[in-house]
Amino acid sequence: MISDTDMDLRGTLTRMIANLGYAPSIEDLSDRVGRTAGEVEASLRRLHDGHALLLHPHGGRPWVVHPFALSPGSCWVQTAQRGYWANCLYCAFGISAALRRDAVITTRIGGEAETVRYTIEGQRPHETEDIFHLSTPVARWWDNVVHACASFQPFHTGAEADNWCIRHDMPKGAMMSIPALWAFAQDWYGGALDQPWRKRTAPEARELFARHGLISDFWAI
């Protein structure tokens, strides 16, 4: 069971990543929150088990603290201050939304050869006709959240996404316009650096999805 103390730790960790561009050591995190390393490691494990972050499989170091990826992801988010990795464009938009900063996001169409950039300026994306396809349904995201994020990719057209699903034997999921994706990421991640940080309950997540018209079976949790 995740406690308020655990979620406070998660909030502190997320803000430290935003300031540093990488995850602090357990010792530095312990010093920041005034707890022992053992207590911090136990909190991180509970957060991992509660799907509030992802630890490396064979150790206690953070691997993914959404929206931030802590190893090279498919997206690079460049702000005026520093750059960050993200595991998908949704998380990349989430970083810009959480920081409330303009950003240029570099990724690839379908995770393949064509490089593409999306610019967030004045807290809105530059106009584009591209779409975002999410292959893995919400209920399966935490089966392997890194794989789930990898299955979320931008495309120029819906037909291009359909073809990609066939060529890679990936499930056809949900499609969103880039403005819709930005609005969703803003709503989900806009408070990620606020204090206190609190993990959404399932009813709260469903309510947020519904605000954005995300009500198909794909979004069921």
Class of domain 75-192: alpha beta
Q: What's residue 219's pLDDT?
A: 98
Across 36-56, average pLDDT: 97
Q: Which residue has tokens 């997206």?
A: 75
Q: CA angle at residue 154 from 21 to 91, to 5 degrees? A: 30
Domain ranges (residues) in the chain: 4-65, 75-192
Q: Is the pLDDT of residue 205 over 90?
A: yes
pTM: 0.97
- DSSP one-letter string for the chain: ---HHHHHHHHHHHHHHHHHSSPPPHHHHHHHHT--HHHHHHHHHHHHHTTSSEE-TTSSSEEEETTEESS--SEEEE-SS-EEEESSHHHHHHHHHHHT--EEEEEEGGGSS-EEEEEE-SSSBPP---EEEE-S-GGGGGGSHHHHHHTEEEESSHHHHHHHHHHHT----EEEEHHHHHHHHHHHHTTTTSSS--PPPHHHHHHHHHHTT--SGGG--
Q: What's residue 42's pLDDT?
A: 97
77 forms beta bridges with: 84, 105
Q: What's residue 103's pLDDT?
A: 98
Q: Is the pLDDT of residue 59 over 90?
A: no
Q: What percent of the chain has pLDDT over 90?
A: 98
Across 122-140, b (16+ Cβ under 10 Å) vs e yields eeebeeeebbbbbbbbbee
Same fold, 4-65 and 75-192: no
* Cβ within 8 Å of residue 91, ≥6 positions away: 66, 67, 68, 69, 73, 75, 149, 185, 189
What fold characterizes domain 4-65? Arc Repressor Mutant, subunit A (1.10.10)
Q: Rounded distance, CA 4 to CA 113, Å?
A: 44
Mean pLDDT, all residues of the chain: 97
Query: Tell me: the pLDDT tens digits for 77-89?
Result: 999 999 999 999 9
Residue 60 pLDDT level (bands cut at 50, 70, 90): confident
Across 6-13, average pLDDT: 98
Q: Is the pLDDT of residue 58 over 90?
A: no
Single out the residue of 170, 177, 162 nearest to residue 213, CA to CA: 177
Q: Rounded distance, CA 12 to CA 33, Å?
A: 8
Residue 214 pLDDT level (bands cut at 50, 70, 90): very high
Query: Tell me: the pLDDT tens digits for 144-180?
Result: 999 999 999 999 999 999 999 999 999 999 999 999 9
Q: What's residue 179's pLDDT?
A: 98
